[in-house]
Structure 1
Amino acid sequence: MTEYTDQERQTLRTAAFGAVFLVSHADPGFFASFKESIAGAKALAGASPELQSVFKSGGLPEIPKGSPAELESGVLTALQQSAGILQAKSPQDLTEFRTVITAACDQVANASGGVKDTETAAIAKVKSAIGA
């Protein structure tokens, strides 16, 4: 099992949950967000045991705060940093991470009555940030 620092684990968690949050908030609405959050959590639960261990470790993910642009920037930065961390420490997990994050974003977007253009745009940004 790959050893990550506490900061690396926090970055990986922030990236994973932040990606779900970013797509969910691309099409706001209370009930839609609730359904989408559940879909995202289920998708992340399908990760490999090693990634699940990272996602579940530590405290809550640190979703960036501020304006929508600051939120997006913070999440995309965490996604880029996560890809770098995995490439350096566990290249075999980078493909899995990309697959899980992409699946989670797709499931979030489809959870509430179809995919909106704003969700498609958010997913494209997430995929670009992780090199998918």
Structure 2
Amino acid sequence: MTEYTDEERQTLRTAAFGAVFLVSHADPGFFASFKESIAGAKALAGASPELQSVFKSGGLPEVPKGSPAEMESGVLSALQQSVGILQSKAPQDLTEFRTVISGACDQVANASGGVKDTETAAIAKVKSAIGA
């Protein structure tokens, strides 16, 4: 099992839950966001035990605060940092991390009334940040 610092775990969690948050909030509306958040959580739960232990550790995940642009920038930064963390500490998990994050974003976008252009744009930013 890979040992991560508390800061690295928080970065990985912020990246995963932040990616779901970005796509979910690209389609406004409470019920859409609720359905999409559940879809995203289910997708993250399908990760390997190693990644699941990171996603589930440390209490509630933190999404960067501020304006929508600041939140997006913070999440994309966490995604890029996560790739670096995994490349250096657990390169065997990097492909799966990319697959899980990409899959979660796709499931979120499809969870409520089809994929909107705003969701497609958010997914493209997430996938670019993780090199998927």
Normalised by the shorter chain, which TM-score bucket?
over 0.9
Gapped runs of 5+ residues in structure 2?
none
State the distance in 1 between where 2:7 and 2:64 align: 15
Within 5 Å, which residues of 2 pair with 1:1-132?
Answer: 1-132=1-132
Q: How many matched pairs?
A: 132
Is the deviation greater in 91-100 or in 57-66? 57-66
State the distance in 2 between where 1:110 and 1:122 align: 13
Is the deviation greater in 58-67 or in 2-11? 58-67
Identity of aligned residues (%): 93
C-alpha RMSD of matched pairs (Å):
0.4
State the distance in 2 between where 1:3 and 1:15 align: 18
Q: Secondary structure at the residue paired with 1:61?
A: coil
Gapped runs of 5+ residues in structure 1?
none
Q: Secondary structure at the residue paired with 1:28?
A: coil
Q: TM-score, normalised by structure 2?
A: 0.99
Q: Secondary structure at the residue paired with 2:47?
A: coil
Q: TM-score, normalised by structure 1?
A: 0.99
**Structure 1, residues 52-90: CA drift from partner, whole Å, max 9, x if none?**
000001121110111110010000000000000000000
**Structure 1, residues 4-57: CA drift from partner, whole Å, max 9, x if none?**
000000000000000000000001100000000000000000000000000001
